[in-house]
Structure formats: structure tokens, C-alpha cells
Amino acid sequence: MASRTATTPEVKPLRFVLRNLNKYIYIRLKDNTLLYGRLAACDTNMNVVLMEAEEKNNDGETIIKYGKVFIRGNNIIYFQFPDLPVS
Amino acid sequence: MASRTATTPEVKPLRFVLRNLNKYIYIRLKDNTLLYGRLAACDTNMNVVLMEAEEKNNDGETIIKYGKVFIRGNNIIYFQFPDLPVS
Amino acid sequence: MASRTATTPEVKPLRFVLRNLNKYIYIRLKDNTLLYGRLAACDTNMNVVLMEAEEKNNDGETIIKYGKVFIRGNNIIYFQFPDLPVS
Amino acid sequence: MASRTATTPEVKPLRFVLRNLNKYIYIRLKDNTLLYGRLAACDTNMNVVLMEAEEKNNDGETIIKYGKVFIRGNNIIYFQFPDLPVS
Amino acid sequence: MASRTATTPEVKPLRFVLRNLNKYIYIRLKDNTLLYGRLAACDTNMNVVLMEAEEKNNDGETIIKYGKVFIRGNNIIYFQFPDLPVS
Amino acid sequence: MASRTATTPEVKPLRFVLRNLNKYIYIRLKDNTLLYGRLAACDTNMNVVLMEAEEKNNDGETIIKYGKVFIRGNNIIYFQFPDLPVS
Amino acid sequence: MASRTATTPEVKPLRFVLRNLNKYIYIRLKDNTLLYGRLAACDTNMNVVLMEAEEKNNDGETIIKYGKVFIRGNNIIYFQFPDLPVS
């Protein structure tokens, strides 16, 4: 297990999210909806814009295609970042 | 999949929304209502004004015609922007 | 469909609402109540004062007459502005 | 129907409420409770103090007498001001 | 009924509450719990400290004795002040 | 019953809580969970850190041992301070 | 039981959390989900980033592997810090 040292940089969560701009991510909403799309924008309220957004079921199958969507941050439970190298 | 580069502009979500002023958009409310209309105004709370607003069912059929409406932002789950070229 | 141009004025939603002062509007509350009355005041929280306020059913029939009411903004889903010319 | 003119004063909703200090008003709470009493104080959160407060049923009959109460604003749906001349 | 005059002092609700420091008050919580105790502290969020706090049923009978409690303001519906002279 | 006098110090609720740092307290959460532990930290949002935290049932029996926990303030209904002398 | 003394440092809850950066923690969400992972980032809203995140059942068994996740703070009930020495 990694140990914390004095040199650990304290990365803010929003900064972590913004590192994933233009990556494809999953977003779980409070009403249990699962969205998948390319992260185009995010602010401090976690309002986000997704491009090529799709609603997925829990098996990862596409249910609905939305295209460009803005999601108000207060509806969001989590973002999941598929494990891709961050440039 | 697009890769993030140092030149990616960090567009704020609200700015993205305002690019769609006067476009026709869908708005999903927390009570599951789906509205469609022309986006006339939006602020940082995502309060919006829609012109020629209509309530749609999930098949895209018009249920009720509202005309001009103001929607308080905290009721909004998402805006969906039909895929039209942005001037 | 209207196209966005550089000359589109970005009208704030609250300013749009205030243009309708003294007009008769509908207000839908989160508990599904539908009110109708003359808009006498509104602030940035969308707290409003209605004069000659009435509760309507969805057929537009008056159920209860309230007279002067103040409504706390966080209970509001939308304002609907009947389509009258704005002076 | 009244028309808006450039001379319409934009009265803030809180100011409207404060004009009714010491008047008897009805307050509807989110849990549907209806209170009646004399408005002794109100602030920008719509926290209020009622004197001689009573809980009423929807027929206007007194159910419980509370006397002096402070009500936290976020529980409030509306204030109703019986139609009395404002001095 | 009292009439409003220019000389009516506009007492803030919090100031009204603080006049009752060290008095015994009732507090109704959003989960319908009724507490009774001596008001020891209150801030602008209506966070309060009660001493000798007891939970009461609606007949005024003590159900549980808590002693010293801090209650987070956002759980509070109302404070009821038994009608005692305020020094 | 204690009477309020001009010399009553107005102790802020948070200050009251902080007097109990390192004391064992009970915390009731909105989901009705009852926790017991040593208060290690608290801020203005009532975010708290408990050491040796345990979940209790209403009979005071330990159900689960958690150890060190951080609790987000908006989940908290009340803190109960067992009646121990404050140094 | 530890006694409070004038020398007790008042550690802020967030600072306590940040001491556990890069440690493995449990997070309970309001929808009762239990997550486990390495704490990579946290801000004042308790927005957090977990690495190697997994959903656990109450017996500690892994149900779903998420990898990198951002969790919006307002969904969080508590963080549990397994009892490991803090460097």
C-alpha cells in the first residue's frame, strides 16, 4: 500500500477530473441513470458537458443515444474514469 | 478517441450552454418531465427561459404546449442539445 | 429556427421574469400545485409575490382563491407566461 | 389587466412581506401544516416569528394553539396575506 | 388587530430567538420529534444547544431524557416559546 | 428556571461543541443511525471526526465497531453530550 | 477517557482526512453503497477521488470494481479510516 509522504502533491478533485477532458467517462446520476460519453467541460459545481452521450444499462449496453448533453452537477453521484493512460 | 493536449481549451459548461442560445433543446426535470423549446436565457444557477415550450413524452410526441416558461435551475437534470452545427 | 448571431442579446432569466411584472402568470410548485395570479415582485431566489392568486386544477378551473401570497422560491418548478405582447 | 410601465416600482418580495409586519397571516409549511398568527419578524431566509400562532385545518378551524413560534424559512411554501388595506 | 406604524421596530427573527436564551422552549424537528429544554446557544443557521433536553410526545409527556444536545439547524421546523414574560 | 440577564454570555453552538473535544459523544444521523465515539474534530459545517467510533442500537448496545470515522455534517441531526463535567 | 486540556490542538476535520491521502478508506454513500479504495484527493465539499475503487457488500466482499472514481461530496455519509499508523 502506498505511503503518504511530505512530497505527496495534494491534487484537488476538480483538477483530477479536468485531466480527463476529452476522455470517455461514465457518470452515475442520483436517479440511478448511467451515462457514458466524452467529457467536454466541468466546473466547480460538477456541472458537466458530455459529447456523444449514451445511456447505458448496468451490463454496459447502450439504451438511448443523447449526443450533446449538459448535466447539472447536483444530480451526480460519481464519475468513473476507465483506466486509460493520462497523457 | 480524442486525446487531451495542452492546447485543449477548457470551456466552462455554462459557456457551452450559452452557445446554444436560440437553439431548440430538450430539458429533463427531476420529476421526469421532458420539455422542448427554444433556449432564450440561462444563468449560473441554470435557471432558464424557454420559448415555444412543449412537454413531450418519451416518444417525442407533444403532450402540452406551454409557450414562454421560466424554469428554476434546481429542478433540472439535463439539457440535451440536438446535433446541429453551432455557428 | 432562429440562428444565433453575435448580436443576440444575452438576457438573464430574472430580467426576463421582471419584464412580466404586473402580468398574470401561472406558477407550478414542486408539490404539483398550480397557481395563477398577477406577478407583483420577484427576486434572485425566485421568491415571488402574486396578487389575486388562485389555485387552478389542470383544466384551468379555479379551486381556491388566495388573494395576496408570497411564495418561497425553492418551491417553484416553473413560471408560465401566457403569450401576451410585452410592452 | 394592469400593464407594465416604466414607472412600475420593482418592490422586492421581502419588502412586500415586511409591509405586513404585525398583520395576521397564514403560513403553509412543506409538511402541509397551516399556521395563522401575527407576523412579528422576518429575514432574508424567510425565517419568521409569529405571535398568537395557531394551527388551522383547511376549513379555517383552530386545531392547536402555539403562542410564540419561530419558523425556519426553508420549511415554508407560502405566506398568505388576508386582504386588508396596507397603511 | 395591531396596525403597522412607522415606529414598529423591525426585530430580526434570530434576535427574537436570542431574547429567549436560558428559557425553556420546544423544538419540532423535520422527523416530527418534539424536544423540550433550556436554550443555551443559537447561531444564524439555527444550530442550537439545549440543556436538560427531553423528547416529548404530543401530549407533553417525557419519552427520553437527553441532557445536553446540539441540534443542527437544518433539521428544525420550529421553536415554540412558552408564553413567559421576557425580561 | 434560569432567568436571562444582561450578563449571560452568548456562547455560539460550535464553541459549545468544541468544548467537548476528546469527550465521548453520541451522534444521531438522518438515516437514524446512532454513533458513539470520541470527538476529535468539528468544523462550522458540523463535519466531525470520531475516534473509537461504534454504532449503537437504541438500547446502547454496540452493533458495529468503526474506529476512526469522518462524518459529513449534513447527515447529522444531533450530538448528545453525556453529562460530564467540562474542564 | 481522554481529558481536554488547553493544549489540545483543534485539528480541522478536512485536515484529518488529508492526513490519510493515499491510504485505503471506506466511503458510505447516502444510497447505502459502500466503496473501498485509495484516497487520492479531497476538497472542502468532501468531493473525493478514489483509486482502485471497489464496491463492497457489508461483509466486506467486493461486488464491483470501478477503478478511478470521483465522488461528489454531497452523496457521502462517512469515511472510515482503517486503523493504520499515520506517518
Q: C-alpha angle C52/C54/C57, rounded to 5°?
A: 160
Q: Is the pLDDT of residue E86 over 80?
A: no
Confidence at G87, pLDDT banded by 50, 70, 90: very low
User: Using the beta-carbon criterion (under 8 Å), do F87 and G17 form an inter-chain contact?
Assistant: no
Identify which of E4, E13, E77 has the shortest CB distance to residue D49.
E13
Q: Which helix (H) or strand (E) holds F35?
A: strand F34-42
- Please enumerate in sequence order all residues whose Cβ is within 8 A of that of E87, keeping only pairs 6 or more positions apart, or say none: F3, F4, F5
CB contact under 8 A, A4 and G24: no
Range of the domain at A42: 13-80
- Name the pLDDT band for D87 (thresholds 50, 70, 90): very low
Rounded CA separation F59/E40 (Å): 28
Q: C-alpha grid cell for residue B38?
A: 427554444
- pLDDT one-digit tens code per residue, F62-73: 999 999 999 999
* Among A41-45, C1-5, E56-60, G3-7, the range of highest mean pLDDT: A41-45
Q: What is the pLDDT of residue G58?
A: 87
SS3 track for chain C: CCCCCCCCCCCCHHHHHHCCCCCEEEEEECCCCEEEEEEEEECCCCCEEEEEEEEECCCCCEEEEEEEEEECHHHEEEEEECCCCCC
Averaged pLDDT score across all residues of chain F? 88
Check A13 against G49: CB less than 8 A apart. Answer: yes
**Contact list, G46 vs chain F (CB under 8 Å):** 47, 72
What residues of chain F have any CB closer than 8 angstroms to a CB in chain E?
Answer: 1-5, 8, 10-17, 30, 46, 73-74, 76-83
F: neighbours with 3+ CB pairs under 8 Å? E, G
How many CB atoms are located within 10 Å of the residue C43 CB?
19
- Distance, in Å, from the CA atom of G35 to the CA atom of A78, rounded to the nearest integer, reads 11
Residue G6 has pLDDT above 90, yes or no: no
Q: What is the CATH number of the domain that holds F24?
A: 2.30.30.100
Residue G78: pLDDT band (50, 70, 90) is very high
Confidence band for E84, pLDDT divided at 50, 70 and 90: low
Complex ipTM value: 0.87
Contact F41 G13 (CB under 8 A): yes
pLDDT of G35 above 60:
yes
Contacts of B52 in chain C (CB under 8 A): none
Cβ of G69 and A78 within 8 Å? yes
Confidence at E11, pLDDT banded by 50, 70, 90? confident
Using CA atoms, how far apart are residues E35 and G28, in angstroms rounded to an integer? 29
Alpha helices by DSSP H, listed for chain F, are 13-18
Phi, psi values for residue D73, rounded to 5°: -55, -35
In whole angstroms, what is the distance from residue D85 CA to residue C67 CA? 13
Residue with cell 432564450: B40
| Residue C2 covered by a domain | no
Give chains near D: 3+ CB pairs under 8 A.
C, E
CA A52 to chain centre: 13
F78 with E69: Cβ contact below 8 A: yes
> Could you tell me if E18 and E43 are in contact, meaning their C-beta atoms sit under 8 angstroms apart?
no
Please give the mean pLDDT across all residues of chain B: 88
Region G59-87: mean pLDDT is 89
F70–G13 CB contact, under 8 Å? yes
Q: How far apart are CA F28 and CA D3, in angstroms?
A: 54
Residue G9, pLDDT above cutoff 80:
no
* Distance in angstroms (rounded) separating the CA atoms of residues G26 and G69: 13
Q: pLDDT tens, B31-69?
A: 999 999 999 999 999 999 999 999 999 898 999 999 999
The one-letter amino acid code at B1 reads M
CA distance, residue D61 to nearest chain E CA (Å): 19
Contact C83 B68 (CB under 8 A): yes
Count of domains forming chain D? 1
Per-residue pLDDT averaged across A52-80, rounded? 96
How far apart are alpha carbons F5 and G44 in whole angstroms? 39
- Establish if A21 belongs to a structural domain: yes
Beta bridge partners of D49: D41, D70
Q: How many CB atoms lie within 10 A of CB C53?
A: 23
Q: Tell whether the model's pLDDT for residue F7 goes beyond 70.
A: no
- Residue F13: what are its φ and ψ, rounded to 5°? -55, -40
Which chains are adjacent to chain E, needing at least 3 Cβ pairs under 8 Å?
A: D, F
pLDDT classification of C29: cutoffs 50, 70, 90: very high
E64 near E52, Cβ under 8 Å? no
Please state which of the ranges B66-70, C60-64, G80-84 shows the lowest mean pLDDT: G80-84
Q: Tell me the Cα Rg of chain A.
A: 14
- Over residues E28-79, the pLDDT tens digits come to 999 999 999 999 999 999 999 999 999 999 898 999 999 999 999 999 999 9
**CB neighbourhood size of G49 (10 A):** 25
Query: Does residue F35 fall inside a structural domain?
Result: yes
**Percentage of chain C modeled with pLDDT above 90:** 77
- Length of chain F in residues, anyone? 87
Question: Cα separation of D46 and G72, whole Å?
Answer: 29
B1 domain-assigned? no
Whether pLDDT at G5 is above 70: no
What's the rounded mean pLDDT across residues D9-37?
93
What is the pLDDT confidence band of residue D83, given thresholds at 50, 70 and 90?
A: confident
Burial of G11 (0-12, 13-18, 19+ CB in 10 A): middle
CA gap G66, G71 in Å, rounded? 12
Instruction: State whether residue F40 is helix, strand or coil.
Output: strand
- In a domain, residue E87? The reply is no
Question: What would the mean pLDDT of B20-35 be, rounded to a whole number?
Answer: 97
Mean pLDDT of C40-57: 97
The verdict on residue D2 lying in a domain is: no
Closest-CA residue to D38 (of D20, D56, D55): D20
Question: Which of A72-81, B10-19, D73-82, F63-72 bottoms out in mean pLDDT, i.e. has the lowest?
Answer: B10-19
What pLDDT, on a 0 to 100 scale, did the predictor assign at position B83? 74
Whether E6 is in a domain gets the answer: no
pLDDT-above-70 percentage for chain C: 84
pLDDT, tens digit (0-9, with 9 covering 90-100), for A3-58: 444 444 567 999 999 999 999 999 999 999 999 999 999 999 999 999 999 999 98
Across the interface, which of G10, G16, G17 has its CB nearest the CB of F21?
G10
Nearest to C48 by CA among C61, C35, C60: C35
Strands D76-81 and C62-71: antiparallel
Q: Is residue E48 in some structural domain?
A: yes
Give which of A72, A76, A77, A83 to mutate to test B binding, by max B Cβ within 10 Å. Answer: A72
With a cut of 60, say whether residue F6 has pLDDT above it: no
